[in-house]
Structures are given as structure tokens and as C-alpha cells.
Amino acid sequence: MSNKIIVNDNESIRFNNKVDFCVGTGRLGLALTSEYLDELEFVQREIGFKYIRGHGLFTDDVAIYHEYEEDGVTKVEYNYTYVDRIFDKYIELGIRPFLELGFMPKAMASGTQTIFYWEGNTTPPKDYKLWTDMVVNLLKHLRARYGEEVLTWPIEVWNEPNLPGFWYKADMPEYFKLFKETFLAIKAYDERFQVGGPAICGVNDEEWIRSFLVFCKENNIKPDSVTRHHYTVEFPEYDGQYAYSKLEDAQMRFDNLQSSRDIIDSFEEFKNLPMHITEFNTSYTARGVIHDTNLNAAYIAQQLSRLGDMNESYSYWTFGDVFEEVGVPFTPFHGGFGLVAANCIPKPTFWTFAFYKKLKEVGDKCIYRDDDSIIIKGDKKYAGIVWNIDKDEFLKEFELGSDDKEYVLITKTVDEETCNPLKVWHDLGEPANPDKEEVKIIKDSAFPSIKTDVIKAADGKVDLSLKAGKNAVIYFELKEREFTPDRGYNYEKVLTFH
């Protein structure tokens, strides 16, 4: 019995492909280092994200906020040297800031609680007027430097205030005060800025989102978006500094996102308000070893096929492994969040994003989608992705409509056999500091396998078969073949003439 899937060109399946809308980064101060910029340049060249979101805009390493005494009076001044340097480089690389407002400058903080190796202060301001003045003055500076486009840069107030490590005691009323004061100050300056929150993770998410919207309703505030995060693993098992996690059921996680969408739409005032996933990945730990694997790439392929169903956008955490939440990494493959490992080595998940970006370039008409594949119809071509999440090898067969012409099939395959830099690094002995030759070997192994074939359509259809190995992600294009050989050149004769 054939398992061939008959694909109807006239189908129109909702597919909000925002793969390139935003990507995460470690703290912004890391953008002052060369390796960080090398990785970002590589990511932008191969994928090209529109926005970038990271922590630490107001922490002391970026050095915006300063206090000094003059004639016995405490005064405030702002220093934009580093933020200009960082944002100038972002814009040069074709990416704009998604402004996460946090953490607290130590001189402005009401307490001493910090988070991460780099000690971001996570307490409320000692004076909310100092906070809102700093925020508004930064926006004024950015607007003066970069022009009216700054009005389009999304703004998010804080990060994960529902966790006590990120917001002192996870104090909900205090966070709501922070949001209100920040929102009103920004809108008083220019109401066109887009301000969202509450930027929560999946802990008590329903309670926080509902309570946040009740608060906004009672205070006659209409946020421009609701923001939350999305991670998809069970509580990890730790061994040394590494976290080993099992993936959760994907449908359960999609249902959780839908529950947030439903809560928003249950408020008449906020119905259809955009929801942004400002962080997502599999593991939520910076030493989550799954991040470097082909399994991660396949699982994320399924996520990208459906995250747009209930979200306006979704931002992968993060683009690269220059990242120091739990300290400086010891090895190039350490389970870092990034799409790219040290020395600009793309991980398998990097190609999942590159493949979805290619889909977007082909078109936005989705004509088929299931649990392990998606197909787009473009101008004189089809494009699609097939993935295999931790299953034995399987064959995916499609029947596509076509004129009776020749087509070229192009496939790019990432799987454990063809594109697995983690295995190569392991086989080399897991060097903590690989030399140039080892880096070259690892990097050479980190690119997709590309194959082509010529397929002849018959009776108004063309058959397509794709074999997906365990944890594979396969991108394919099927397009009309234009055969234009040069005079006297005969490919078959080349192969047989001896």
C-alpha cells in the first residue's frame, strides 16, 4: 500500500513564517568583542534577522547610567559611548535592536540581588523617576542618532519577572508598577513607540498573563503586545556543569502557547493583540547539551512550522555561543544556546533556520503541512522541508501537480551522518581549544550535503521521494529545468568517452 501524499496546489494553509524576525543574544556588552561580531556577521550573511534582543542594556558594563555629587547634591548623567558602538555595529550588519529594558544600574538599584556570572542587578529602582528618565532619555538619544526608524524598534519591559532570580521575590505588583511607569513615560514622550510585556517564562504563565491584562484594563493601559517565552524540555539532570534534558511533547507545548493566546483574546479590550515569543529554544539552560545536536535541529524544524499559528513572532535564544550567563565556556561544544559555536562553526539547528529562510524567499503560499513536513508553492517551483525527530529512517513520498516538463530537484540534507560537527569534535578527542587544523576539520563537517537530480513530469504530476534518516532536516526545491547546453558539449559523451 502506497503512503504517497497527494498535494493540492490550491490548498492555502495559514503559515506565518517569521523565522527571521528576531534572534536572541547574550548580554549586549558582549557585542564589544570580536568573536561575537564575527558570529553575528556570519549569521546575518547566511540567514539575516531583522531584530536582535538581549539582556543588560542598562547594566554597568554598557555604562549608560551614572551618578555624581556636586555641591552636596546627587546628580545624574548618561554615557552613550558603548551603546552607540554596539548599535552602530548592529545596524551595519543589517539588524536592529529589540529593546529589552533591563537590568537595573547598581547606582539606581533598591537592593543588591544579582543574577548570572556578570551580576545583572534584578531589583526595582530606588526611585521610579530616575528609571523612567533614563529610559526616555535613551530613546531620545537613539532617535537623534538613528532617525525616525527608532519608533519601529520593539520595546519590552524587563525579562522574566515571574522568576525571583530575575525580579526580586518575583513580586507581581511591583513589576506591574514598573510596567505602568515605564509604559506611561514612553507614551508621554511619543505614543508611537511599541511597548510590550510581561516577558514571562512558563512558570505560572496563565496567572501572570491574566493578572497582567486585568491590571492593564483597570489602569486603562493598552500594551502594544504581550510577550512570553517558550522552552520545551523537562527539568534537567545535571552532571558537573552540564544539563541533560528530555524533550517535552511538542503538542503540549503548542497547547500551552494557545492557552496564552486564548487568555489575551478573552479580554475584549485586548482581543487580537500581538503575542511575541521573545525567547524560545529546547533547553532553557546555557549548558543544555541538546542544543548542539541534530535532534535539536529536527525538533526546532517542527516548532518553526507551527509557532506562527498563535504568535506574531518568535525569537530563538540565541544566535551564537559568545555567552556568559554561567561563566565563560570551557569548550567549543558545551551545550550553548547559540546557532553558531566558537570559530563560526554552524550547528545543525543553524541550517534549520537557514532552510526556513529559504522557504520565505520562495513564497508564503503553504499548500501542505503535517507533523514532519511543510511545502510552499512559489513561482514555477516548490520548496519544502522534511524532518525526522528521533525516529528510524523513513521515506516521505509526495505527488505534486505540474506541467509535463523536466524539473531539477535540489536537496540539502542535515543529519547525523552528513552534518554533525559535534560528533567530529568528539571523535577528535573533544579538544577544549582545537588548533587551526582541527577547527577546519570540524567546520568542513558542519555544512549540508547537497544533491541534485532531474525528474520528468508525466500526466500532469511529478513524484517526489525523500528519505529522512534519524534526526534529519532536509530542504528541497523542485523547479522547472532550463537546459541550455553550449554548442558541441554533450554531458553523456563526457562521461562515456575514454
Q: State how far the alpha carbon of 3 is from the alpha carbons of 374, 386, 395, 455, in Å.
A: 16, 15, 9, 20
- 11: how many CB neighbours lie within 10 A of its CB? 13
Inter-residue contact 417 to 388 (CB < 8 Å): no
Place of cell 510552499: 376
Inter-residue contact 388 to 470 (CB < 8 Å): yes
b/e map 256-284, b = 16+ CB within 10 Å: bbeebbebbeeeeebeebbbbbbbbbbbb
Give backbone dihedrals phi and psi of 233, rounded to 5 degrees, phi first.
-130, 160
- Nearest alpha carbon to residue 373 among 306, 438, 423: 306
- 313: how many CB neighbours lie within 10 A of its CB? 23
Catalytic residue (one of 39, 100, 156, 160): 160
Place of cell 493578572: 211
Amino acid at 391: K
Query: Three-state SS for 25?
Result: strand
**From CA 209, how far away is CA 211, in angstroms rounded?**
6
Place of cell 517535552: 248
**From CA 5, how far away is CA 399, in angstroms rounded?**
6
Q: What residues pair up with 453 in beta bridges, in sequence order?
A: 409
**From CA 18, how far away is CA 80, in angstroms rounded?**
31
- 444: how many CB neighbours lie within 10 A of its CB? 11
Give backbone dihedrals phi and psi of 183, rounded to 5 degrees, phi first.
-60, -50
Pairing mode, strands 73-78 and 65-70: antiparallel
Known catalytic membership, residue 41: no
Q: Which residues are catalytic?
A: 160
